[in-house]
Structure formats: structure tokens, C-alpha cells
Amino acid sequence: MREVAVIGIGQSVFGKLPQKTVAELGSEAVAAALADADISAKDIQVAYASRQYNAWCTAQDILKEVGIRNIEMVNVENTCAGGSTAFRGVWKEIADGHYDVGIAIGVESMTTSPIAGKMITPEKDDLDGHLGMSMPGMFAMVARRQMEQHGATVEDFAQVSVKNHRHGCLNPQAQYKKEFTVEEVLNSRMICEPITLLMCCPNTDGAAAAILCSTDVARKYTTTPIRVLASTLLSGDYKEFQKDITVSPLLEKISKMAYEMAGCGPEDMDLVEMHDAFANEEMLRYEDLGLCKRGEGVALLRSGATEIGGRIPVNPSGGLLSLGHPLSASGIRTICEIVLHLRDEAGARQTPNAKVGLAHMHGGVVAGLEHGIVAGIHILAR
């Protein structure tokens, strides 16, 4: 297996952009990634694109805008981990030696999707969905258990949102560049007790792209290739086997796989970008990813360690909470953020002397299965 590196990253504007087509959003990210890598569109040999809603020929539709055609293109869907899936697809193509250079794209136009401004309608056979289950409802019930088992308070949940919004203010690409206080988060509209509106990620349009290359060939294009130490993607189990809803059995498995593959542990991470669709989720993932021991996620948050300038900054980009969550784009956008820090190009939100970073993406609710049924973890190093 060959070592693979990221040599180019790009992102579109994130926001509510119903006037922009998927091809426009996607090609904005692709053009930025090509320019960043200083590589010609003609050098791209393989492309994977991910999109959740109304998807067909997403890669072909986007890449026609920049002149990329007549190459192998694959389109994938894997809910919030779609971007991670596309990235891993290209990684495998290159690691296995099929190609030397490829591009991974994640894109979502949430405002023009069938779920725009609506709830996600459950499938006919989704019994729990018909009985009132929803994503915010699930995370609210998880939050209740965090309060019960780990002594978390609603102020802690609000604090995650406060932190990530503060981080987002330092990111020119964030959808919401606005600071909030704990009181403002708690006083925002109640969605599912104790989850308030400002503890939920917004619906967002946007795209992200990454250009991958075998490390030996990468020297031709850049002096700062960012090496992919681990690329992992995994699906979870039936709900019967998730005894504690504050623990993701899937993440316990996949994070172990990722650290083993990377040959390092959570203590070696300089920063982490993760799925914070709901504020309380971030504290769960601290534990699932091994950033602290089980039950100590609350303490880790309160210590300030996960803020920019802390021991292990989490979501320095602003996270899904402030940056927004174009579902399939987020898995690649998080990787782009890690790459920026590893190149020392993250500006005001830079993690000092960052050498290794982890990008996590996680999602998917399927009746009968553990919640958050698919996850991707990538570990990158300079």
C-alpha cells in the first residue's frame, strides 16, 4: 500500500444559498482546491463525489465546470459521513496504486433539497420515526442521560455552542460569525428539552474538495504534502447492542482502528474536527475518540482544553454549529481544516505547532440500528 498525501484543499462559501446550483457550489470548491495545489485539471485521474439529496451524477455535473472529463468518477452517499466516504474512496484508489492523483468532493444544497424547511419524513417502515423520533429528539434523550450519568448541566451543553461560535468568528468561511453567551444559547427557542435552537447545527449549502496524491508523486507539486496516516470508514450494529446511548459502539471500534492504522494515540492529536450536529454530541465524542476517559467529557469541556489555545482544540473551524452542516460536504471540510492547521495556514485560529490532527464525521439514523450508524475517521500529519 502506498502512502497518500493531501496536496490541495478548497471550500465554497457556506450559507443559505438557494440561488447557487450544486455544480456552482461544487466547482467553487474544486477550483479552489486545484489552485491551492497549483495543479492542472488535466492531472486529475479519478474523482469521488458525495451528496445526500437529489443526487445523480454529482461528480460529472460539478467537474464539467472545470473541464475535467473522460476519467473514472464515482458518486457516493453515506449521510453525514458521505464526504469521509468520498475521501476514503480516492485514498484507496491511490493507496492501492490504481491512480496517482485524484479529487474528493462533498457537496450539499440543503436549501433546495426536498427537506428544505421541513422535517425529515420517516420511511413507511420506520416505526420509531412515526412514533415521534427525530434527530433533535434522540440527542435530547442522550443529553438527559449525560446529565444523569455524568453530571452534565444545560450550561455545559450551551458552553459547547458558545465555544464553537467563538471559534467560528475567527473563520472567514463560517456561516454564522457571531458570539453568543451561555444565557443567549439557553434562552433561544426550545427544540427538544434540554436542546435549544442554538445547540443545533443550521441547514447550510456548501461544498468542499480535497486533492490527494501518492506521497512520492506529491513532491512534484508541493513541498508541504499532508500525509494521510489513517483512513477508516465503518458502519455500526443493531440498536439492541447499544446498551448506553451516551456511548457509540461504532466509534469505539473505528477510533481504535484509526489509531492503530496511524500508529499513534489520542494523546498525540494536536487538534480534532468532529461532528457536533448538536452541542451535547461534542462531549460524547471527546470520550468516544479517547480524548479523555469515559465519563470525563464534561470535565474536559470545563477545563477549557478543547478551546483554541487549549491542550486539544476541538472544532477550531467553528464546527457544524457555527460553520453550518452541508451534510456530504462536512466530511471533507473537516479534513480541509486539519490540513490548514498542519500547514500553519489557519490564521487567527491556528493550533500552534500542529503536527497531527483527526477529522471525524458521523451520522445516519436507520430504524432498528444504533443511532449514528456510519462514521469516518481520518488522521493526518505534516
Partner 1 sequence: MAEVVPVREGILVEDAEGGRLLGNKCKCCGQLFFPKARFCFTCFNKDMEEAVLSRYGRLYSYTIAHMPSTHFQPPYAIGFVDLPEGVRVFAPLKMTEGKPFKVGMDMEVVIEKLWQEDDKQVIGYKFKPV
Which residues are annotated as catalytic? Answer: 80, 325
* Residues 6 or more apart in contact with residue 178 via CB below 8 angstroms: 165, 168, 169, 322
Stretch that binds partner 1, among 70-78, 88-96, 177-185, 238-246 (CB under 8 A): 238-246
Smallest distance from the beta carbon of 153 to partner 1, in angstroms? 15
Yes or no: say if 246 and 291 are a contact pair by the CB < 8 Å rule: no
Q: Which of 37, 191, 264, 375 binds partner 1 (CB under 8 A)?
A: 191
Task: Figure out which of the listed residues 13, 71, 133, 305 binds partner 1, where binding follows CB under 8 A.
Answer: 133
Q: How far is the CB of 72 from partner 1 (least distance, A)?
A: 37
User: Is position 250 an interface residue for partner 1 (rule: CB under 8 A)?
Assistant: no
Does 187 help bind partner 1 (rule: CB under 8 A)? no
Q: Are 202 and 276 in contact (CB under 8 A)?
A: no
Least distance between partner 1 and beta carbon 275 (Å): 20
Residue whose CB is less far from partner 1, 95 or 141 = 141
Q: Is 310 in the site for partner 1 (CB under 8 A)?
A: no
Q: What's the residue count for the chain?
A: 382
| Binding span for partner 1 by CB under 8 A among 233-241, 250-258, 331-339, 345-353 | 233-241
> What sign does the dihedral 10-16-22-28 (CA atoms) show?
negative
For partner 1, which is the closer residue by CB, 134 or 215? 134
Residue 115 binds to partner 1 (criterion: CB under 8 A):
no
Nearest distance from C-beta of residue 56 to partner 1, angstroms: 27
The reply on whether position 177 binds partner 1 by CB under 8 A is: no
Q: Does 140 bind partner 1 (CB under 8 A)?
A: yes
Cis check: omega of the bond before 194, within 30 degrees of 0:
yes
**Is residue 376 a contact point for partner 1 (CB under 8 A)?**
no
Options 64, 96, 241, 295; binder of partner 1; rule CB under 8 A: 241
142 or 208, CB closer to partner 1? 142
Residue 124 as a binder of partner 1 (CB under 8 A): the answer is no
Tell me whether residue 86 or residue 245 sits nearer to partner 1 (CB atom): 245
Tell me which residues in 17-46 interact with partner 1 (CB under 8 A): none
* Contact range with partner 1 by CB under 8 A, out of 88-96, 133-141, 207-215, 291-299: 133-141
Task: Determine the size of the site formed for partner 1 (CB under 8 A).
Answer: 32
Taking CB under 8 A as the criterion, which residues in 316-375 touch partner 1? none
- Tell me the backbone φ, ψ of residue 175, rounded to 5 degrees: -70, -40
Which of 69-77, 86-94, 150-158, 234-242 is the region at the interface with partner 1 (rule: CB under 8 A)?
234-242
- Whichever of 198 and 264 has its CB closer to partner 1, that residue is 198
| Using rule CB under 8 A, residue 129 touches partner 1 | yes
- Which residues lie near partner 1 (CB under 8 A)? 119, 121-122, 127-134, 136-137, 140-145, 148, 189-195, 238-241, 245
